[in-house]
Structure 1
Amino acid sequence: MIDALQTATTGMTRATDRLGTAAETIAASGAPVGDTALPPAAQVDLTSAAADLVGSKSAFALNAAVARTADRMMGQLLDISA
């Protein structure tokens, strides 16, 4: 069950990283950089970034559910052995 918690924690970390990358992509579209500006948002394909936002939210929630389940199972195992 410790493996499940480690796997869930790793999954939540990766989902958080994906969310941050997608958010940076969205925030950077159209933002001025130095003397030049990035292409306007209308010319940048933001659909993949938006899909990453939704996907990372779901991945985080699923990994959190795994962590809660592993924690509950560990508690039940300790209750049985006590």
Structure 2
Amino acid sequence: MIDALQTATAGMTRATDRLGTAAQKVAEIGAPAGDAALPPAAQVDLSSTVADLIGLRTSFALNAAVARTADRMSGQLLNIKA
């Protein structure tokens, strides 16, 4: 059960890191670099970034569910042994 909790925690950490990367991509789209103008709306492709964000949200939620289940199972095991 400890392995499940560690795996879930690692998965949530990876999802959080990737979320930061995706957020940075979104922030960079609207920020002008130096004297450069903003890119035209037709050249901005957010669909892959939004798909990543949806996947990351699901990944984090599933890992959190695994962590809750492992915690609940550990608690039940401790109650049985007590």
With the length of structure 2 as denominator, give the TM-score of the two structures.
0.91
Higher relative CO (Cα under 8 Å, sequence separation at least 6) belongs to 2
Residues 1:50 and 2:50 aligned together: yes
Percentage identity across paired residues of the two chains:
77
- Specify the SS of the correspondent of 2:39: coil
C-alpha displacement at 1:38, in angstroms? 5.2
Segment of structure 1 superposing worse, 25-34 or 48-57: 25-34
- Aligned-pair Cα RMSD in Å: 1.3
Equivalence for 2:6: 6
Give the ranges of 4+ consecutive aligned residues of structure 1 lying more than 6 Å apart after TM superposition.
Answer: none
Segment of structure 1 superposing worse, 38-47 or 14-23: 38-47
Task: Show structure 1 runs of 5+ residues with no match.
Answer: none
* Separation of aligned partners in 2, 1:18 and 1:37: 28
Check the 8 A contact 1:30/1:37 in 2, yes or no.
no
Task: Show structure 2 runs of 5+ residues with no match.
Answer: none
